[in-house]
Structure formats: C-alpha cells, structure tokens
Chains A and B, each alone.
Chain A
Amino acid sequence: MAQYDFKKITVVPTGNDLIDIVLSRTQRQTPTVIHKGNAISRVRQFYMRKVKFTETNFTDKLSKTIEDFPRVEDIHPFYGDLLHVLYNKDHYKLALGQLNTARNLIKRIREDYVKLLKYGDSLYRCKSLKRAALGRMCTVTKRIGPSLAYLEHVRQHMARLPSINTGAPTILICGCPNVGKSSFLNKITRADVEVQPYAFTTKSLFVGHTDYKYLRYQVIDTPGLLDRPLEDRNIIEMCSVTALVNLHAAILFFLDLSGSCGYSISQQAALFHSIKMMFRNNPVLIVCNKTDLQTLEGLSGEDLKLVMEMKSAALKTIPGQGGEAANDQDVLLTMSTITDEGVMAVKNAACQRLLDQRSERKMKSKKMPTVLNRFHVAMPKPRDQKERPVCIPQAVLEARAEEAAHEERKTEKDIENENGGAGVYSASLRKHYILADDDWKLDILPEFLDGHNVYDFIDPDILQRVEELEREETAVEEDGGDFEMEDEDFTAEAEKDLQEIRKRKKLLIQKHRIKKSTAESRPTVPRKFDKDRKFTTERMGRQLSSLGIDPSRAIERARSRSVSRKGRKRERSVGGDGEDVMEIDGGLDNKKKLRLRSRSMSVLSQRPLGEVVPGEGFKDSAQKMKAVTMARNATKKRNKDARRGEADRVIPTLRPKHLFSGKRSIGKTDRR
C-alpha cells in the first residue's frame, strides 16, 4: 500500500550526452601523461585503467537507469495497467532490455580489450587498442540512443502523474463526458480542475483530497467514458477504465438528468450497465447531477424507470462484502454543483459507505483478533435507574440565547460592498485615529517644506526641544551681547591679540581632544610609511623651542633610543631618521592631516552619544549605541594598518623580500 514516487528517477541522458559525460569523466579522472620511454608494464597499466574506468562509468549509468525505472510486474496493478495504457508495456520493456544488452556488450568489450592490452608491446599499440575499445563502447551507446530518448520522455511524463495512494480510502468519480464530475471535485476538494463546456476537458486522472470524520479521503476524477466496447477505447478512456478496475474505492456514477451533456438518460444508463461489471465489490452510488435544470421527480416515466433499474443494479453489486447501504437513500442521490445543494450530502454518503466497508473488511481480516485483544472499552455499570442528563448553567444558556439574537456587527467589508465594491470605494483609514482633538482626524498634513521631508522632523517632544533651543540661543546671545558691548572699547592691537588668543585656544582644545582619543581609535602611521622623512629630530627641536622648551635633551633621548636603517654612524651627519614619535604639526596649514587623524568635530552638535535623533533611522538608544560600537570596531583594524578607509587597499611593498627569497634546508621552494 505504498505511495509511489516517480519523481525520484534520475534524468536519462541522450546517447550523445552519455558518451560526452563518460568520456570527459575518463579524461579528467584518470592520469593523462605517459611517455614512450616508460616501462611497458606501466604503459599497459595506464591504458588498461582507462578502458576499465570507461566501462565502469557506462555500466554505472546504465544500471542506475535500469534500476530506477519501475518494473511493470512488481508495482501495484493499478500503476502497472496505467503504465501500460500510457506508454505501452512492450515498448517500455524493450527499451529497458536494450539498455541491459548494451550494458552487457560494453562489459564484454572491456574484457576482450583488457586481454588484448596484455600483449601490447609498444605505446602506439596500447594506445590504438584503448582507442578501439572506447570507440566500440561509444558505438554501442550511440545505437541505444532512441531507447534513451524514449525513456527520458516516459520519465518526464511519469514524474507528473498525480500521486495516487493505492491503499488510502478513495472515491472514484465516473460517468459520461460533461456530466459535472470535475465541478464536483472542485467543490469538495481544493483541486483546481478545469471545467469547460466541451466534452473531454479532463484528459487524465485528477486527484483531490477531502476530509470526513478525521480521515483523509482521496477523490479521483476520471475522464468521461463513452459507451464503446473495450477494444475501441482510446488512451484517455483507458485511464479511467484502469482506475475503475484496479482501485478499491467508492464509485460515484454521475448521471445528468437534464441531458445537457449531450447524452440522453438512456445512453447513460446503457453506459452504466456496460461498465457495472467493473464495479465488483466496491460500494456504488448513483448521483443525479444538474437538478437545477431538471429534478428527479420531474423526469418522464421511461427515464425514471431507467434510473430505478440502475439503482437496483447498484444495490445488487454489494452482495455481502460490507458497505451495504443503510437505506435506499444512500444509493441514489441528487445534487446540483452550481447551486451547491446536496453536494455535501453526496460526499458524506460516499465517505460513510466507504468507511463502513473498510472497517468491516478490517474486522474480518486476520490481523484484527490480535489487535482486538488489546482493546477494552470499559463501560461503567449503571448503579441505579436515575437519569443524569447534561447540565448547563442557566447563565450560559441565557448568554447563548442573547448571542444568537445579537445582530452581526457591520464590518468594513460590508460597508465596502455597500458602497460599490473593492474598486469603487476606498476605506477611510483615518476614522479610528486616536488624537487629542477629534477635529484633527481629517486634517491634511503637508509633506515637504523647504526641501525637507516634514515627517523626518516630526517628534513627539518637538515642542520641548524648541523651548530648549530657544533657551540656548538666548543664552548665547547674552554672552555674545557681552562681548559685542565691550568690542567698541578694544583697540586694533587688542583686537589682533584677541584673535591670536582665540586661535591658540582653539588649537589647544583640538590638541587636547586628539590626546584624549585612545590609541586604538587614532590611526597610527607606521614608520615605514614615512616616505617623506618628515619626522626628524630637527623638526621636533624646532617645535619644542617654539613652545619655549629646551629641545636638546629630548633630541638626545630620541636619538639614543632609535636605530636607523643605515646605522648609527649616519646619524652624526645631517639629521637622520631618528624618531619614532609622531609629531602633531601645529598650525592650520596642515588641516588635512589633522582631519585625517582626528574625529570629525562639529562644535554645534553637542548631543550625548546615545541620544536618538529623529531622521537618523534608529529605533532606540540601544540600537544607536550598537551601531556606534560596530563602527568603532570596524575602524580599529583599519587604523592599525594605517589605512584611510575601507577603500584604501594600498600595499606599500608588493613583494616583501623576506617572503620571496631564501633557501630551504629541506624541501623545495617552488611555492611560497
């Protein structure tokens, strides 16, 4: 009772493709170099390996295909018959047989040529023999090309067959074309089958699933059957015949009372009688569809008689195997798929009949007693004759009654439908806004102002901020006002001094800030990049003296602690490279360098670090801090390498000598 999976069959390559695959594999995965001067045994081995390898690959690929394809005898007869109907069992078997013969031929070729290779006494001879062997194997494969193409075609079709579980409870829908089978399937399952007014819309089996009493039922829709002898049936009809014969299922025979399908009731009855022997022990239900066009009671006398005959025939097909109709009503049912009346009743009746039959069968099977022994349903013995009905408190009953009487709330969807539908009416989302003043609900907010997005600046505490700002400004103004008042008293000289002082002060502040920054966030320019040789003791001396300090001791110390590349002797001459201290260039002419090294400092933004500014895109302070930390961590590594940023990928020395030179005491140096 397996669920067959035909999708797992590996793709069958075409003849030429198979040859290409195997030969390129041989070329890649066996050694390729052999010389005339090598020992003859090595030469022989080299070529024998190629022949064997090629044969193994061919055999593997062909065996995989042969084994993947199902054997028609070994699978469930339903699938066996279906495969026969769709692909012609003989052709299928022949194709697989050809693959098998090809496999054997290739094996034999390999044996013969390996034997011959043993007598090969020159490279040329062995090579020609290998070439002949591979060539023959490829010719064999080329010959089975059409079989491979056929099998690939079959595989593609088989993979798309609906997966029918032959052991699960199944309901089979059959009848004349255009009767309403597919629409019924669409109604009770989620299968989206095409329903069209022309006959033979359904050209193969379709499967849907439905639930009944916590069990999953398979519903199979078949193509319509015509009243013909079995030999005349085409492939499409044979599919449904296969399903009828081989599957154990509840059979719903659909009858079109109105005759709008193009077949009169007598024709449909004839069809029924001709296929009724295929029903065997399966529970049969006769379903009269399209009652909206023609009811069962409104039928003419002969038609009604035909229908009753069918019903009695259906009753007869359930001799004693279980699944007997509880009453007459269960065999003949009416419904209409357009108006939906009776559809659920039909489904329930069919499912119930099938369930009964399956449970009876299970009870009668040999396994049941072993299982039944383990069950015991304990029924408490009644101790007296008092009746104890269900007890529901009064309040609950009242609440239930109230709810039932309560009208349904009008939903937005209802309003939409009233006002013209989905495209016409657009729901007003503002209706339910919660605002301080309800009059503001319908106000229109501007979106742009002065080139900025207004929404970027909307802030719940915006009023608070405005107040703060105003306070600050007044404070600054007052200070500025003080200065400005005293400004008139200053002379030009004093003015200049003032500027000087201010400059100095700014510099000091900057210097302080730089000093404050930690080593890891400050980029360090390593000595080796000091190509311009700007960091000299002379410069240090100059700057120290400009500050008013005696530089000689500092210079001594620096020079004594450092070792120049060219040796100490050089140092006595014109100031060499003795520093390893980075100097900050004073003065604003090296603004660029400063900016490289220091953090960008804007005096105005004096906010605390973790404060969330609307417009930056952070959810809360924690997220912002995390972002700041991440940024810092990223720049740390870069700064250590003295890289200016992410895009700075300068390699100062492309081929450092210590990596590219030298001998090894042991081993080879052909890779470094």
Chain B
Amino acid sequence: MPQGDYIELHRKRHGYRLDHFERKRKKEAREVHKHSERAQKSLGIKGKMIAKKNYKEKVQMKRTLKMHEESSSRRKVDDEVQEGAVPAYLLDRETTTRAKILSNTIKQKRKEKAGKWEVPLPKVRPVAEDEMFKVLRSGKRKTKQWKRMVTKATFVGPGFTRKPPKYERFIRPSGLRFTKAHVTHPELKCTFNLEIIGVKKNPNGPMYTSLGVMTKGTIIEVNVSELGLVTPGGKVVWGKYAQVTNNPENDGCINAVLLV
C-alpha cells in the first residue's frame, strides 16, 4: 500500500468503527428515500432533468423485465416457409427464369432521361420567395429595391467570382456558403463528411438550382472517392447524388442521404 493511502492503512491497522457497517447499511437504505424526495421537490429545469433520467431508467428496467418474462412463457411454434417453396399442385412444372440482367448504370441513365429519381424525401414543403430572399435597399436614398440576399444555405463552385457589386442582383453571403455535407449511406448506416461538387436540383424551382441554394429536399452531387466505390466495369466512382434531409440554415450544417 503506498504511503499516501491513509484510509486503507488505518483500516488495515485498526479495523473499522464498531458501528461502521450498520451505519453504511442504513445510509444506503436511506438513499432511496432521499432520491425520491429530491425528485419530488426539485423545481424547474433541474426537476425536468431528474424526471427524464428517471424515466429512462424506468424504461430500461421495464425492458429487462419483459425480456426475462419472455423466456418463461410458452409460444406457438411457426413452421417457417422457405423461400422458393412451391405448393404441392405446382410441383413437376418447370419454372422459367428471367435471364435478362440490366446493369445499374443503364438503369440510372434511363432514370436520368426521365428526370425522375427515387428519393427518400419525395415531397418537401415549398419555400416562398420572401422566405428565400431578403430585400436589400440600395441607392443614394435607399429607395431602390432590386437587390436580393439569399437567406438559405448556398453552394458556389470553387472558381466562383462575384459579379461587380453594382450589377449583382442576388447576393450569396459568404457566411452562408457551405462546401461540405454530412452524407449518410443508407445501407451502411454510417456518415461521412464529403465535399459538395454541385447542386443538381432544387425542388422549389430552376432559379434556385442555378443559384445553388440548398434547402430541404435538394439533390446535390457529392465527392465519394473516399468511399472507394467501383463500378462493375472497374472504374472508380467519384461522384454520387445525395438528398439534403435537414434545414441547413437552422442547423448550420448540411445533412444528406446518399442515393444509391
């Protein structure tokens, strides 16, 4: 025992107090009541936090109990039907198989032509123009109102230069420009921080698409070279589409789901 462990040394030499164990037991027994008193008497945010913690514990306890109960009850046994199992009256028939296999790339090309994608968020709330733009007054007497500032998250490409300030109608402030998105792979269930290559389509209109505004539901193209995906032909995939799933202007970041 190190020299600094006074408590253990004293215990080793002199043992415990005569009433030590009894006091300890009683103190622990009293803890339950104290816990409940604290939970009942706390007010405000502290009370809410305690209640939340207690609720979580209660749920956990209920789950465990249910699990234990499950093992003791009896259940009906289902005979599982195997895939491809054929009923008796169909036996002795030759089943035909479709041999045509279309590759993924062709399918995607077809979809692109049709202009339709299978997306996780098919419908999004439309964003009005006055929500999207803020009117900026300009001119000597601040009466001209033809300038607009974008209030949502935007993406501008790497080679972007502003138009001369006198002529630019839509201002995309640099504080609202994003270059990276947190993209989740739906099957792998993990999230990567990937660079945005461009904005493909904004459901609110082609103007927003051309401006590069990213709202909820926008399809963007991200750089997936990190993931190391390879086409069946052996080429490295480095760009894929993803759909934005949050409101970037409210959260300060772009969360998207990869469209596979």
Instruction: List residues of A whose CB falls within 8 A of some B CB.
Output: 24, 27, 112-113, 115-116, 118-119, 121, 124-125, 128-129, 132-133, 159-162, 191-194, 203-207
Contact = CB atoms under 8 A, between A and B. Distances in A.
Interface stretch (B31-39, B89-97, B222-230, B245-253): B245-253
B17 to A, nearest CB: 20
Given A119-B151, A119-B176, A207 B252 contact: no
Given A115-B175, A116-B175, A116-B176, A207 B3 contact: yes
Contact of B175 (A119, A203, A204): A119
A545 B3 CA distance: 93
4 shortest interchain CB distances as A-B pairs = A160-B4, A128-B250, A204-B2, A115-B175
B27 to A, nearest CB: 23
B114 interface: no
Contacts of B251: 128-129, 132
Given A119-B151, A160-B4, A204-B2, A124 B173 contact: no
B42 to A, nearest CB: 12
B135 to A, nearest CB: 12
B5 interface: yes
A193 B1 CA distance: 9
B134 interface: yes
Interface size class of B (residues with CB under 8 A): 10 to 19
B45 interface: yes
A191 B252 contact: no
Contacts of A133: 252
Contacts of B176: 116, 119
Nearest to B152: A119
A27 B48 CA distance: 14
Contacts of A160: 2-5
Interface in B238-260: 247, 249-253
A124 B46 CA distance: 24
Given A132-B252, A204-B3, 12 more contacts: A24-B46, A113-B252, A116-B176, A118-B175, A119-B173, A119-B176, A124-B250, A128-B250, A128-B251, A132-B250, A160-B3, A203-B2
A119 B132 CA distance: 12
B1 A194 contact: yes
Contacts of A125: 249-250
B127 to A, nearest CB: 13
A295 to B, nearest CB: 33
Contacts of B1: 194, 203
Nearest to B251: A132
30 contacts: A24-B45, A112-B252, A115-B175, A116-B252, A119-B151, A119-B173, A119-B175, A119-B176, A124-B250, A125-B249, A128-B247, A128-B250, A128-B251, A129-B251, A129-B252, A132-B250, A132-B251, A133-B252, A160-B2, A160-B3, A160-B5, A161-B2, A161-B4, A162-B2, A162-B3, A192-B9, A194-B9, A203-B1, A204-B2, A207-B3
Contacts of B45: 24, 27
Nearest to B2: A204
A611 B81 CA distance: 110
B45 to A, nearest CB: 6
A606 to B, nearest CB: 53
Contact of B134 (A27, A121, A159): A121
Nearest to A221: B3
A124 B247 CA distance: 12
Contact of A206 (B3, B175, B247, B249): B3
B4 A162 contact: yes
B151 A159 contact: no
A24 B1 CA distance: 40
Interface in B119-164: 134, 151
A204 B4 CA distance: 10
Nearest to B150: A119
B250 A129 contact: yes
Contacts of A116: 175-176, 249, 252
Nearest to B49: A20
Contacts of A121: 134, 151
A132 B151 CA distance: 18
Contacts of B5: 160
Given A119-B175, A121-B134, A159 B253 contact: no
Contacts of B250: 124-125, 128-129, 132
Given A160-B5, A203-B1, A132 B175 contact: no
A159 B5 CA distance: 10
